[in-house]
Chains A and B, each alone.
Chain A
């Protein structure tokens, strides 16, 4: 009964926040609504017994994406490009309401049909569940991501690299000092916060990676937590934008794809199937490389800079 009440509040809250996100007159308000929307989505995943997704949604959906949207809003403002309602396209009531109703009806029909479908024995999920032991990890999510659907994970890393390259191509003009954000004056308390929070973010990232084998966690969640530490260092002026991507950063950006592909090819050379990782050690090795690449890509995306260096 209480569970149903919580679920109803969550479901209504998510729909309401989604509405507010697209209907907000100010861009800042929309961004804030989107962040809260991500937090409620994370709770919804937790209620659906999907803690891996809840972690990923909180760390990436609400955390890093929210920070990216906020810093974008800040930059638009600093460029004298104040994004207020006047620039939003006018909404036509006669078009939006029927469209929204039709979309909702479609979702209800598809959901209803999906619920009516009889359970099919021997689906891919069942097979993966039965043969999870062969992968070498006991967390089914990690097993699927790196064992049964390794191609998808490899392609996700390629998408992340492509996203960074795309952002890099768009942000070609490097203007030192033109970017707002980093607090250049030394603020008391911030140093103390950093000296505690940055080591904790590293610890939590490594823990999430290690726990990913048997419990909720993994490279994506850990990478997002590590990236949060990096974002904090950038925001407080410990790291600053560099005009060039250093060699180490280039290696870091492609490390995930490189290690994953090399492992996959090595397996093929020894007679196995491509990307069929041989055991838990290979999974942890690949995940470590993925974590570093994910964290670095996210921090560089946030900084919108070719590279980072220590504040001089």
Chain B
């Protein structure tokens, strides 16, 4: 097992840990905002770690570049869907919005 393999395994395992943490948050947290917070933040980092781990494992710049695009697209989709879900939750009035900065 080479050094690259060890690094890749560590990155993949820590990425999985973040996914587990995010999923536990999704299942256990009380309201929409806390759940979104847990899910998007932890999963984005988890995806980053898994992509980095796979890039190290592949040892190819081309694949690393493709994985970077995968991560960026994942970030984009997660950000916008998180925003839309939170917006919907605030608008529908079922949920008190979290303490927000007053608009200047």
Q: Which residues of A contact B (CB under 8 A)?
A: 187, 189-190, 192-193, 196-197, 200
Contacts and interface: CB of A to CB of B under 8 A. Distances in A.
A189 B73 contact: no
A295 to B, nearest CB: 20
B76 A187 contact: no
B43 to A, nearest CB: 15
Contacts of B76: 193, 196-197
B87 A187 contact: yes
Contacts of A196: 76
Contacts of B80: 189-190, 192-193
By Cβ-Cβ distance, the 7 closest A-B pairs, closest first, are A193-B80, A189-B80, A189-B83, A193-B76, A196-B76, A190-B80, A187-B87
Given A187-B84, A187-B87, A190-B80, 11 more contacts: A189-B79, A189-B83, A189-B84, A190-B84, A192-B80, A193-B76, A193-B80, A196-B76, A197-B73, A197-B76, A197-B77
A193 B80 CA distance: 7
Contacts of A187: 84, 87
B75 to A, nearest CB: 11
B37 to A, nearest CB: 17
A77 B63 CA distance: 44
A55 to B, nearest CB: 15
Interface residues of B, number: 8
Contacts of A192: 80
A255 B98 CA distance: 52
Contacts of A200: 73
Interface of B: 73, 76-77, 79-80, 83-84, 87
Nearest to B69: A200
A94 B86 CA distance: 45
Contacts of A190: 80, 84
Contacts of B77: 193, 197
13 contacts: A187-B84, A187-B87, A189-B79, A189-B80, A189-B83, A190-B80, A190-B84, A192-B80, A193-B76, A193-B77, A196-B76, A197-B76, A200-B73
B79 to A, nearest CB: 7
Nearest to A194: B80
B47 to A, nearest CB: 16
B32 to A, nearest CB: 16
A197 B79 CA distance: 13
A292 to B, nearest CB: 24
Nearest to B79: A189
Nearest to A190: B80
Of the listed residues A187, A193, A200, the one surrounded by the most CB atoms of chain B closer than 10 A to its CB is A193
Contacts of A189: 79-80, 83-84
Nearest to B87: A187
Nearest to B73: A200
Of the listed residues A189, A192, A200, the one surrounded by the most CB atoms of chain B closer than 10 A to its CB is A189
A4 to B, nearest CB: 19
Nearest to A196: B76
A82 B39 CA distance: 30
Of the listed residues B76, B80, B83, B84, the one surrounded by the most CB atoms of chain A closer than 10 A to its CB is B80
A201 B77 CA distance: 13
A189 B84 CA distance: 9
A193 B76 CA distance: 7
A196 B77 CA distance: 11
A172 to B, nearest CB: 32
Nearest to B83: A189
Contacts of B79: 189
Nearest to B72: A196
Contacts of B73: 197, 200
A231 B79 CA distance: 19
